[in-house]
Structure 1
Amino acid sequence: MYDSCMARMPTTSATTSSKQSTSRQGSLTELFESISPYEQKSKRHAEITQAITEFIAKDMMPISVVTNHVFTALVNTMDKRYRMPSRTHFSQVAIPELYKKCRQRVAAELKTEFFATTTDLWSVSLTVHYIDEDLNLKARCLQASYFPDDHTGENIAAALREGLASWDLPEENHICITTDNASNMVMAAQINE
């Protein structure tokens, strides 16, 4: 009976078996890894998300890069199990967390007795200069603020005081300020003594 059933079978089985022999069957591990994404709270997911966050922040990339199909394909090629968080996650969670950590690190560095600052008129930036415990000269740009008010000496003086206060830098330890020598900047420095 078996022989008669086999005789009735179409002859395509030979081509099917040859196709099967040329293609490699994946292992169970490969199959599992290709369909099972990392849990969002897993260490590996957090590492990749942190690396993408730093890429966005340090290279000044738009947050929309995480929705770019070429970028997501690149990330997927490197790790098929990683699922990209939403754009909202990066803008409202990941980047603010990175900023908070960076600000805490810089604030800890600024625990110094005396400091000097540099500022300019166009962006009302504030850079602090100080000498650390190892007698190394350091500089940190603390802010580059949008300044919609009139650029009067009084307004600039207030903005500079607010900038120092937001970093807990006491004005009495501020030994000098370097500006672009515009009359309103000179007036701001005089107002703040």
Structure 2
Amino acid sequence: MGNGRQYAIGVISHMPENQPLELARKKLALMICVHEYPLSIVDHAGFRKFCGTLQPMFKVSRNTIRLDIINMFGVQKNIMVKYFAKCENRVAITTDLWTAGHQKRGYMAVTGHYVDASWNLKSFLMRFVYVPCPHNAEVICEALHACLVEWHLEKKISTVTLDNCTSNDKAMEILPDKLDTSSLMLQGSLLHMRCAAHILNLIVKDGLDVMEKGIERVRDSVAFWSTTPKRHEKFEKMARLLNNEYTCRLALDCKTRWNSTYIMLKGALQYKDVFERLSIREKKFTCPTGEDWVFAKEVCARLKVFFDVTELLSGTSYVTASLFFPQICGIRLAIRK
């Protein structure tokens, strides 16, 4: 280790005067990308003092690091374009479009997936771009097609997977007209794939709308004991008194995210005895009834099936297409019990 460090220091000391600073900028840009830090980190007083301690000559602005990141992307993009020019494998595309809540602006992310020569599944972000309104089929199709052309993949794609909304369906009806269908698998008949995880999400949301009233008192109980730090501390103390290990923190769900409802119910059921004991001491708190707990347990068991399958189908390090049919059959059998 000592020799390695001396060697590294020796290499840096013999570099041209500006080269270590340029290398540091590249490493900083990479760090920001890998850890998803904001570009404004380079303007923070603490960061500037830290860098000044290590190297007083190292100074970088937000615009400079932004350009470094863009240049880094350009270099890596050219490498990937050249790789796919020689590669005979096809690339599966996934894309999503959403509106950022604080900006009220629409963004599209396009990701490519392929199997390399060593049979390893690889994924890479092709584009993260602002998409102006209106987000209709024509705009979505044009943005997606522009990305494929930019990466020279319009003749090498296998499938395009999107969420299940009307504008996406119409966009995928238009896209084949912009492509050479003879270069696609089965003349493009398999081009459009629907996101399996999104289909499951829609199914569960519809089911929870019907069962909403049945779990309302459990949700109110979680909200009561997680609203303030004082109440939460009282709840945790009671759990310890009852020898119930407080390993899963109480968390109120977000009604638009069914997986958070599953996590909430799972945690509440774990501390059922805590809720019941606290209802004796706390007059303002109304504990769910026995029927409420039975219903919550049943709902939680059903949601667990969807939760596990959704996590499986959302994997990024393995192929998921072959998992869909048997998992959906498993869900159907579990629901019919």
TM-score by length of 2: 0.41
Where do 1:14-53 residues align within 5 Å? 41-53=17-29
Query: In the TM superposition, what is the alpha-carbon distance from 1:40 to its structure 2 partner?
Result: 8.8
Could you say which residue in structure 2 is the equivalent of 1:61? 37
Change (3 A) 1:133 1:156: same
Which of residues 129, 142, 157 is equivalent to 1:158?
142
What is residue 47 of structure 2 aligned with on the other side? Answer: 71
For residues 135-156 of structure 1, give each alpha carbon's deviation from its aligned partner in whole angstroms, at most 9, with x where no partner exists: 2222212112211132222221
Instruction: Give 4+ residue runs of structure 1 displaced > 4 Å after superposition.
Output: none
Contact 1:40 1:46 in 2 (8 A): no
**Alpha-carbon contact 1:128-1:142 (below 8 Å) kept:** yes
Output the CA distance in 2 between the equivalents of 1:119 and 1:103.
18
- For 1:143, the equivalent position in structure 2 comes to 127
Contact 1:125 1:144 in 2 (8 A): yes
Match of 1:100 among 74, 99, 108: 74
Between the two proteins, the alignment pairs up a number of residues equal to 152
Query: Cα gap change, 1:87/1:185 in structure 2, threshold over 3 Å: closer, same or farther?
Result: closer
- In structure 1, runs of 5+ residues without a counterpart are 1-38
* Structure with max Cα Rg: 1
**RMSD, aligned α-carbons:** 2.4
User: In 2, Cα distance between the equivalents of 1:105 and 1:70?
Assistant: 36
The code of the aligned residue for 2:40 comes to: S
Of 167, 171, 175, the residue aligned with 1:184 is: 167
Deviation per CA, 1:25-76, whole angstroms, max 9, x where unpaired?
xxxxxxxxxxxxxx99522222222222222333333333223221111112
Show the counterpart of 2:60: 85
Q: What stretches of structure 2 of length at least 5 have no aligned partner?
A: 1-14, 99-106, 177-337
Partners of 2:43 and 2:16 lie apart in 1 by 18
The answer to which structure has the higher helix fraction is 2
What is the distance in 2 between the residues matched to 1:162 and 1:99? 17
Identity of aligned residues (%): 25
- CA offset digits 1:152-181 (Å, max 9, x no partner): 2222111111110111112x3222111112
Within 2, Cα distance between the matches of 1:152 and 1:163? 17
In 1, the alpha carbon distance for the partners of 2:113 and 2:33 equals 23
Task: Give me the whole-angstrom Cα distance separating, in 2, the residues matched to 1:125 and 1:136.
Answer: 23
Q: Could you tell me how far apart the structure 2 residues matched to 1:83 and 1:144 are?
A: 30
Q: From the superposition, tell whether residues 169 and 70 of structure 1 become closer, same or farther in structure 2 (CA, over 3 Å).
A: same
Q: Which residue of 2 aligns with 1:23?
A: none
Q: Name the CA shift for 1:115/1:86 in 2 (closer, same or farther; >3 Å).
A: closer
Alpha-carbon distance between aligned partners in 1 of 2:27 and 2:60, rounded to the nearest angstrom: 13
Residues 115 and 96 of structure 1: CA distance in aligned 2, closer, same or farther (over 3 Å):
closer
Listed one character per residue, the Cα deviations across residues 63-121 of structure 1 (whole Å, up to 9, x for unaligned) are 332232211111122234x33134443234x2332222232233344343312111123
Please name the residue that 1:134 is paired with: 118
TM-score scaled by structure 1?
Answer: 0.67
- Structure 1 equivalent of residue 96 of structure 2: 120
